[in-house]
Amino acid sequence: MLGRLVSMTDSFASQFNPEHNQDIIKILCLDNYHMTIAFVLISCDLGSEESIIEQLKSIVNVKEVQGIFGAYDILTKVESSSTYDLKEIVMQKIRKIPDVRSTLTLTCIEGQE
């Protein structure tokens, strides 16, 4: 089914500007569109929690942020359009915040909400 959808999408998209193919594919797949949801546990340097929480709130895909007690200091809920995008958010945005020491990403199982 997916192969057929991709080939139909490719032939439809080829009639348009190649720069817009990805946008057309996204539009055609909206019926089966699901967000990738993950909880990211963050360990940070002592005293940097409030600063990191404020920086996390400015990331569009971060939906919730909460300071916590235990082995980790911050719990964050992240939503993205794909697991690839999720990886990019964690690696390129969250882990690059100064004073973040480590992260543990827990990806949710679709359909088990």
- Pairing mode, if any, of strands 100-107 and 74-80? unpaired
The pTM (predicted TM-score) of the whole model is: 0.70
- Whether the predicted pLDDT of 40 surpasses 80: yes
Q: Is the pLDDT of residue 27 over 70?
A: no
Residues 78-110 have pLDDT tens digits of 999 999 999 999 999 999 999 999 999 999 998
Give the 3-state secondary structure of residue 102. Answer: strand
More confident residue, 20 or 24: 20
Share of the chain above pLDDT 90, in %: 65
| pLDDT attached to residue 22 | 53
Give Cα separations from 47 to 3, 21, 26, 57 (angstroms).
Answer: 51, 46, 42, 18
pLDDT bracket for residue 111 (50, 70, 90):
confident
